[in-house]
Amino acid sequence: AQSVAQPEDQVNVAEGNPLTVKCTYSVSGNPYLFWYVQYPNRGLQFLLKYITGDNLVKGSYGFEAEFNKSQTSFHLKKPSALVSDSALYFCAVRDPMNSGGYQKVTFGTGTKLQVIP
């Protein structure tokens, strides 16, 4: 069974500092990995994905994520945090080796990012 873990419920970072939001996963095959962001009273917005290729993936709003197969991690990063980055971040995984017509996406429980001015 596939799973994804976000070990931190909340991450606090000062504005201008680098930020990291952690995600680890477990799948039987090679994973498809996603990050989403949710602002208050809004739906989730797609940030970036890793399917194959370069381990460093760049996405929207200056975010990037690094796929590390040996550590089964896909941490979200940004070199310089903005107050406007404060939101709820979700990691998600899909195992393309799952049989059947639908390949389930499993979401993490979310990490609240608070950027302090």
Nearer to other proteins, 37 or 81 (CB): 37
Q: Give CA 27 to chain center in angstroms.
A: 16
Nearer to other proteins, 41 or 70 (CB): 41
Rule CB under 8 A: which residues touch other proteins? Answer: 32, 34, 36, 41-46, 49, 51, 90, 94, 96, 101-105, 107-110
Measured CA to CA, the distance from residue 50 to residue 73 in angstroms comes to: 11
Minimum distance, C-beta of residue 92 to other proteins, in the bound complex (Å): 8
Measured CA to CA, the distance from residue 40 to residue 55 in angstroms comes to: 30
* Burial bucket for residue 14 (CB in 10 Å: 0-12, 13-18, 19+): exposed
CB-facing half-sphere around the CA of 100: CA atoms within 13 A? 5
Nearer to other proteins, 45 or 80 (CB): 45
Minimum distance, C-beta of residue 22 to other proteins, in the bound complex (Å): 15
Minimum distance, C-beta of residue 36 to other proteins, in the bound complex (Å): 8
